[in-house]
Amino acid sequence: MNQRFGIHRFAASDKDIHFFTRFASYDVLMRFWALIEPSLPYMVSVTQAQRGTFTEPSSIVTRSLQPIDEMFMFLNYLALGSKQRDLADRSDHYNVE
- 76: containing domain: 7-90
Measured between alpha carbons, how far is 4 from 49 in angstroms, rounded to an integer?
28
Residue at 97 is within a domain:
no
Ramachandran bin of 52, using left for φ above 0, alpha for ψ from -120 to 50, beta for the remaining angles? left
Residue 77 neighbours by CB distance under 10 Å: 14
Contact 77, 87 (CB under 8 A): yes
Residue at 2 is within a domain:
no
Residue at 95 is within a domain:
no
User: pLDDT tens for residues 22-81?
Assistant: 999 999 999 999 999 999 988 877 777 778 766 665 455 556 788 999 899 899 999 999
Q: How many domains does the chain have?
A: 1
Higher per-residue pLDDT: 97 or 30: 30
Q: What angle do CA 61, 62, 68 make, to 5 degrees?
A: 90
pTM over 0.85: no
Residue at 63 is within a domain:
yes
